[in-house]
Copies of this chain bind each other. A is one copy, B any other.
């Protein structure tokens, strides 16, 4: 299969949908993008083309820019999806909307087209019941901005075959991703789930008054942040020499097991705090500061992408030396 020539369908052109379209165009795929409403068609085309030009400036577009731009078709007509080998739905996280969209996709694609969802909130096993041949249905979870980050999580629902997950994993190498496969559809998938594990513990410490919220962030930025992108979690342990089983035994008994949402969080959210979106969250933000964080994240993301790329030998090793699969 020439992955770079396969047509890919994207349904839904919100922030994430557009971002995935750009990723696919940059990889050289012809893209059939379904806009749910007529006014979305023109707006989306303008924005996608702008972002694709930005990617081209960063050297991320695998084909000549004009060819990539020419590979995009935006339409309201689901029939355009009929020749796609992969169709990904990126519509809002409401089950009835997903159901309607998945039904329309299912009606036009061939039985071996892989159907993907970008949901991060609804179980894959639930959504896969909405299409025929549910074994070809997978979760495909990007990190924003989808065209720039290396992360990609592929999630199997109960009926998804591992072979179909691996097909996406193989394609994703052409999308400049480091794909991972979650074999079981568990709440939060991997990446969110781990963030909640950390959050459970750090909020217990902050609410007990042991450390400030700002200092927790500094610990993560400057300790975990100094090795995370290079090593991940398990290799970090290997690097440190694995000597702390006694410490592990002690600490597992001390860690927070709470099931309650932290009071501080409840209060902020009840009062309408939505972080940098509203200026009020765990920290406070002036409009200028909120903008600055958004800009800084975009810039940092490009820098860390480049930095990670400077260690290719290490990336190659990852695939060969895992002794415990």
Contacts and interface: CB of A to CB of B under 8 A. Distances in A.
Interface of A: 121, 143, 149-151, 153, 178-184, 186-188, 190-202, 205-206, 208-245, 247-261, 264-266, 268-269, 273-277, 280-285, 289, 292-293, 296-297, 300-301, 303-305, 307-308, 310-311, 313-314, 317-319, 321-325
Given A210-B184, A243-B274, A193 B252 contact: no
Contacts of A143: 222-223, 226
B186 A194 contact: no
* Copies of the polypeptide in the assembly: 2
A321 B213 contact: no
Contacts of A226: 143, 149-151, 229, 301, 304-305
A181 B233 contact: no
Given A247-B121, A261-B252, A238 B196 contact: no
Contact of A211 (B182, B275, B314): B182
Contact of A178 (B222, B300, B321): B222
Contact of A289 (B186, B248, B276, B317): B317
A26 to B, nearest CB: 17
Q: Closest 4 interchain pairs by CB?
A: A217-B232, A238-B275, A225-B229, A180-B215
Contacts of A324: 206, 213, 264, 282
A222 B255 contact: no
B325 A212 contact: yes
Contact of A251 (B187, B243, B254, B300): B187
B205 A190 contact: yes
A219 B180 contact: yes
